Amino acid sequence: MIPVCPLADLPRGEAFRLENDPPVAVFHTEDGEVYAIDDTCTHQDASLADGWLEGCEVECPLHASKFDLRTGGVDAPPARLPVRTHEVVVEDGMIYVKLSAAPPNLPPSCVAARLGGVPVAGAGT
C-alpha cells in the first residue's frame, strides 16, 4: 500500500493528487469518506483532483463529465469510459492507497504520449 498523507491533512471536500504513473486522486468527502480514483479524465488530459466535488461525484474541470468516486462510472459525454477506483485504507490516522491491477482508461493524448506520440484510435474516447 502507498502512504498518501495523514487524514488530518486532507480537509473534507478536498482532494490530494498522488504522483504515480498514472496519477491518482484521493478525495475526502463532506461525509467523511475517503476514495481514490485515477486522476486523469478519460476524455481529455485533465486532473480530476482539480474538479468539483459534490457528494460522491467529481466533475471534470474541462467538460463537466462527472465520475462516481465509489464505482469510477461516468455520467455523460464527452467522457465515455470509467476511471479506475483504488482501495483506500485509513489506519492510525494515515491514508493508504492500494492500487488497482486493472489497466487504466487513459485519454488519447496520454496514450499517445506513452507510445511516443502515435495516437491510438478509439483509446480513451
Q: Mean pLDDT of successive 10-residue segments in the chain (125 residues)?
A: 97 96 96 97 94 96 95 94 97 98 88 54 44
- The residues near 14 (Cβ < 8 Å, ≥ 6 apart) are 27, 28, 53
| Residue 107 confidence (pLDDT) | 87
What is the SS3 assignment for 91?
strand
What pLDDT does 121 receive? 45
On whether the CB atoms of residues 40 and 22 are closer than 8 A, the answer is yes
The pLDDT score that the predictor gives to residue 111 is 65
List own/partner pairs for 115-120 with CB under 8 A and 24 or more apart.
none
**pTM value?**
0.86
Could you give the domains of the chain? Answer: 2-114 (2.102.10.10)
